[in-house]
Amino acid sequence: MKKIAIVLLGFLCFNKAQSQSLNVNWNDVVLVSKSTATLQVVGNPMLRRKAAMHDSSFNALKKLNADYVRYVPWFPYPKLAVAELEPPHEKTSWDFSLIDPMTIDFLENTKGHSIILNFSTIPQWMFKTDQPVAYPADPNQVGWGYSGGTQLRDTTMKELTGYYVRLISWYSKGGFTDELGKYHKSGYHYEIPYWEVLNEPDLEHSMSPQTYTKIYDAMVTAIKTVSPQTKFIGMALAYENPEWFEYFLNPANHKPGIPIDMISYHCYANANSNQKFDDYEYTVFDKAEAFVNTVNYIESIRKRLSPNTKTDIDELGTFVSEEMRNQPITPAYWNLSASVYAYFFIELSKRGIDVIGESQLVGFPSQFPDVSMINYINNKPNARYWVLKMIKDNIKPGSTMVRTNIDNNNGDNIVAQGFVVDGHKKILLLNKRNKSISIKLPAEFKAANVSTIDGDSGDNEAIRSSINSDAIEMKPFAVKLIELK
């Protein structure tokens, strides 16, 4: 998968000799947030049982206790993502033996929550290709070629929808009858609150919005026959191409009665090629800011065409340069990436985004290590996880966002947002820069509790302290939550 609160956002560049003052007007309500902080879980070998990262990753997922967690078995590992790898002929190839353990562990560790399932990988044999597309015999081996073809061989899409109806029935109806009339029993009866239709179709199989919309309508119609309570998420775009939003969000382009419950799209704020880490802080935050500006435009399209449709930006992360990805990643990067997610949460909350999803629970060398929320060396949750948990545990939908700023006109290094949560006053602050910055606080902050995630906290939960002066220090890429008593 790829790329890239205050309603006055106060920004400031300082050195320690300068005065930088936080100002919060608790009586000036800007809006009531409806945003949920969450994450995505991408299926890969490190989430298989007995894999080194399995236990700690699923324990962290359970402790997070989040809603709208997105689960995506993905095409680079066909045997972990596709339940029917060969076309049915004289027999079928249905096999969940490698898929079930990881999927059941996900379902059990998110039980009771409004999860999002996305088995995004269509069996390759359903596409027209010059010759059959091979897949690795080893389920742990990457098969990047398993996404070829741009045209389905069955233009009626009965073959495609039949596959997904059977897959969903395996997990929600106890089993299914295959194409040759044989019944396959699973015994599973899980609820499927949300189903997201495919992943990054603008990249995977290079679909047009017209083709995707036809597939979406066919999939929704078919899935509702076996799971009528399920809601649907559309697009999951890699890039924010206006043509897609204009077409898909227009009800006139769908069959009558097809719901557009939610849309989704992605952003990875990436470093540039050959860029040194010292310059990352500017590049990734500049790209994050540019994405937020794009969200403004997309929201104007959504509100015009389909105002009741919700939005889930369900892949938010950062990437190192390709050169750094092939060597040990500097520890400070994880704090930078965590700070970027805090920035996304503040800015996207102000824009009314419903679900703000960090990507992703587990990555490791050769499989996007720079987006992992679990340290693949010691298997402990890293700063990206702890910032998400801090936000999720403290700022929930229905929180009031109040006018906040920082007095200084020399830059935009500190971002701060005040929230009132169930009557409790809280401030979320982040440092965008790789240097320490001092913030002067209002008198009412004396003795307030502070949770801090920075280089000192490392791969541990937030450091708790209390304010005993009129200022606090924001260490490089620090994220703090201040709770007034």
- Residues 430-454 have a mean pLDDT of 96
pLDDT value, residue 9: 34
Phi, psi angle pair for 370, to nearest 5° = -75, -10
pLDDT at 178 over 50: yes
pLDDT value, residue 200: 97
Q: How confident is the model at residue 16 (pLDDT cuts 50, 70, 90)?
A: very low
Q: What is the pLDDT of residues 156-167, one digit of tens each?
A: 999 999 999 999
Q: Which of 144-148, 163-167, 282-286, 297-301 has the lowest mean pLDDT?
A: 144-148
Q: What is the pLDDT of residues 380-403, one digit of tens each?
A: 999 999 999 999 999 999 999 999
Q: How confident is the model at residue 11 (pLDDT cuts 50, 70, 90)?
A: very low
pLDDT at 440 over 90: yes
pLDDT at 116 over 50: yes
pLDDT value, residue 239: 95
Measured between alpha carbons, how far is residue 25 from residues 160, 166, 346, 430, 474 in Å? Answer: 55, 55, 17, 19, 22
Average pLDDT along the chain: 94
pLDDT at 319 over 90: yes
Q: What is the pLDDT of residues 294-303, one digit of tens each?
A: 999 999 999 9
Find the helix or strand (DSSP H, E) in which 130 lies.
none
Name the segment(s) of the chain with CATH classification 2.60.40.1180.
21-27+402-483
Measured between alpha carbons, how far is residue 413 from residues 14, 76, 453, 483 in Å? Answer: 8, 38, 17, 22
* Other residues' Cβ atoms within 10 Å of the Cβ of residue 149: 17
- Residues 92-116 have a mean pLDDT of 98
Distance, in Å, from the CA atom of 157 to the CA atom of 215, rounded to the nearest integer, reads: 8
- Residues 74-102 have a mean pLDDT of 97
pLDDT value, residue 409: 54
pLDDT at 12 over 60: no
Distance, in Å, from the CA atom of 388 to the CA atom of 338, rounded to the nearest integer, reads: 8
Q: How confident is the model at residue 20 (pLDDT cuts 50, 70, 90)?
A: confident
Structure-token match 């799209």, residue found: 265
pLDDT at 4 over 90: no
pLDDT at 35 over 50: yes
- Give the pair of three-digit tokens for residue 436: 């320490």
Distance, in Å, from the CA atom of 123 to the CA atom of 82, rounded to the nearest integer, reads: 6
- Give the pair of three-digit tokens for residue 134: 């091979």
pLDDT at 3 over 50: no
Residue 141, classed as helix, strand or coil, is coil
pLDDT at 250 over 50: yes
CATH architecture of 35-394: Alpha-Beta Barrel (3.20)
Q: What is the pLDDT of residues 334-361, one digit of tens each?
A: 999 999 999 999 999 999 999 999 999 9
Distance, in Å, from the CA atom of 411 to the CA atom of 351, rounded to the nearest integer, reads: 23
- Residues 171-192 have a mean pLDDT of 98
* Other residues' Cβ atoms within 10 Å of the Cβ of residue 29: 13
Q: How confident is the model at residue 412 (pLDDT cuts 50, 70, 90)?
A: confident
Candidates 3.10.129.10, 2.60.40.1180, 2.40.100.10, 3.40.50.10540; CATH matching 21-27+402-483: 2.60.40.1180
pLDDT at 14 over 60: no
- Residues 284-305 have a mean pLDDT of 98
Name the segment(s) of the chain with CATH classification 3.20.20.80.
35-394
The answer to whether 418 and 23 are in contact (CB under 8 A) is no
Q: How confident is the model at residue 13 (pLDDT cuts 50, 70, 90)?
A: very low
pLDDT value, residue 294: 97
- Look at residues 31, 71, 35 and name the one whose alpha carbon lies nearest to residue 391: 35
Q: Is 70 exposed, middle or buried (0-12, 13-18, 19+ CB in 10 A)?
A: buried
Distance, in Å, from the CA atom of 387 to the CA atom of 383, rounded to the nearest integer, reads: 6
The answer to whether 375 and 383 are in contact (CB under 8 A) is no
